[in-house]
Structure 1
Amino acid sequence: MMLDTQNEEKNTIATILGIGTLIFGATGVFYHLQISLNQIWEITSNDKINYKKIVLDRARSFAFILVIGFLLLISFLVTAAISALNSYIKSTLPNVLVYIAFALDFIVSVGIITLLFALIFKYLPDAKINWKTVWIGALITSTLFVLGKSLLGFYFGTADPGSTYGAAGTIVLVLLWVSYSCLILFFGAEFTWIYAKRYGLGIKRSTKVLG
């Protein structure tokens, strides 16, 4: 019984450490994404280290993780529902409704991902930017993201580049997808910055930034 208790304690400690490491790593990704967006939008920061701001940035990053997880869950459920509906349509209804279901899936995906990018562009950087510019930049970014996702999915399904690398094929595919996602995100941020300078109100350093 004592051994079982010790094993349970070790498992609990390992679980807590694992969750803590996961949260720290995930918030670190968003923290460095914030720094990258600040650089793209030419948002300068003081050289003096402000630990309070670092803690608040980590907390904001954790909030983004929760929001993104919720949005991705909704996207997954909606996509699954549309896929099930699409299978039913193929077997019982005319082909034209198949294209309607595909278009609906695309529109819903773009809508949810647009909201995701809009939240990132609006609240993650230390910047003050109006919503009109945010929505335009997010819409362009999400459209490219969904189109690229469809094209990459088609390419991965037909060419199967992962088979070349054997057991590491899955890791290679994940790295390719992450690289593409980062490129699209930073391209969207650059587009938003250019649009804000030419047609919007510009992007300014937020007055709420500490330090």
Structure 2
Amino acid sequence: MKKTFKKILHFAKRMVTEYGRDNTFELGAALAYYTIFSIVPLLVVVIAVSGIVAGPDAVRGQVFGQLTGLVGPDTAKALQDMLGEAYISGKGVLATIIGLVTLFIGATGIFNSLKNSLNRMWGIEPKPKNSVVHFLVSRLLSFSFVMGLGFLLVVTFTLNALVRGFADKLGHYMPELGAQLVQVISFGITFVISTLIFAFIFKFLPAVKIAWKDVLPGAAFTTVLFVLGELIIGLYFDSTEPASMFGAAAGLISLLIWTFYSSQTVFFGAEFVYVWCEVHGRPIQPATDAVKVVRRVVKMENGKPVEVEE
């Protein structure tokens, strides 16, 4: 028992060390900045994709219901108003094309920024490539994650609908049990889907080779942090009332706060994956189109660089 506790403590210390070394606050601030410009295009695409199956109105209601719980009613309302203005109104072919290109670039901005952050944290650098081709491939990869989010959203809605249908039938016989069952199973579904999303992000977004058995524990750990973060941020918004503190900028500030914290949960989860791989003797390897970047600290002695142990 004592030996196990020491291993856990050592693991946690390594995570915290890596977390501080990688300047994650700076990376989180950059990701929050990109989110401001990407969140509305991202919502447009996700709602459009999932709305094909579930219906756009139903999906929109579910999405903004979740956002209200995450970032508060003021921010969710502001995003809903922005989304209403974002749809292309068809003012000619050129305007439509420009709108679609802007939508594509905007919707992929979050994932592109997250990919660069994970590469940097894991010491990976993509090889130099043709700038235009690399840009398109990078954006297409990020766009595939956006499409995947839409698909997983449909799966979540479908499973929750099936659970509610089963619980309604059960409720005729045991009303209290039916309501509790919906809450428990819905939470389980959301937890599993969230874990899958984080697992796919860690597995496919950075330019790395990594096994599923190394990704899944970190994804589950990240989901736990994310759930705890929802509770903490919810309590923060309830107690501080951003609208009274920041006035007209309350929605924007709330979104920045939520994005910054969410980015830290993902980055801490990424450090979990990194340390997990190191501890189990399976260091993260670069993909075929990337190289490993090794960090060294040196000092100058007699005009020559001498490596210093960190």
Q: TM-score category by the smaller chain?
A: 0.7 to 0.9
Cα distance in 2 for partners of 1:167, 1:111 equals: 37
Deviation at 1:149, TM superposition (A): 1.9
Report deviation, 1:113: 0.7
SS in 2 for 1:125: coil
Cα distance change, pair 83–150 in 1 and its aligned pair in 2 (3 A):
farther
User: Which residue of the partner structure matches residue 254 of structure 2?
Assistant: 173
Residue 128 of structure 1 contacts residue 204 of structure 1 at CA under 8 Å; is this kept in 2? yes
Q: Which residue of 2 aligns with 1:159?
A: 239
- Give yes or no for contact 2:126–2:289 (8 Å, CA) kept in 1: no
CA RMSD of aligned residues (A): 3.1
AA of the residue aligned to 1:163: A
- 2:5 aligns with none
Higher strand share: 2
Unaligned runs of 5+ in 2: 1-88, 292-310
- Is 1:118 the counterpart of 2:199 in the alignment? yes
Change (3 A) 1:40 1:167: same
Candidates 62, 67, 84, aligned match of 2:148: 67
Runs (5+) with no aligned partner, structure 1: 1-7
Matched, 1:16 2:89: no
Match of 1:3 in 2: none
Distance 2:211 2:259 in 1: 29
Matching residue within 208, 215, 239 for 1:134 = 215
* Within-5 A mapping of 1:87-98: 93=174, 95=176, 97-98=178-179
Matching of residues 41-120 of structure 1 within 5 Å: 41-46=122-127, 48-51=128-131, 52-76=133-157, 78=159, 93=174, 95=176, 97-120=178-201
Aligned partner of residue 201 in structure 1, secondary structure: coil
1:35-46 → structure 2 map (5 Å cutoff): 35-46=116-127
Aligned residue pair count: 201
Q: Tell me which amino acid in the other structure corresponds to 1:37.
A: L
Q: Does 1:148 align with 2:229?
A: yes
Conserved 8 A contact 2:199-2:215 = yes
After superposition, the Cα gap between the structure-2 partners of 1:84 and 1:93, relative to the gap in structure 1 and judged at 3 Å, is: same
Task: Give me the whole-angstrom Cα distance separating, in 1, the residues matched to 2:113 and 2:234.
Answer: 28
Amino acid at match of 2:103: L
| CA displacement 1:143-202 (0-9 Å, x = unmatched) | 21123224433543x326223233332222222221121111111111111111112512
> Is residue 191 from structure 1 mapped to residue 279 from structure 2 by the alignment?
no
TM-score (norm: length of structure 2): 0.56
Q: 133-142 or 70-79, which moves further after superposition?
A: 70-79
Aligned CA distance change for structure 1 residues 76 and 55 (closer, same or farther; 3 Å): same
How far does the alpha carbon of each residue in 1:3-41 deviate from its partner, in whole angstroms, 9 at most, with x for none?
Answer: xxxxx8735433332221121122233222211111111
**Normalised TM-score (structure 1):** 0.78
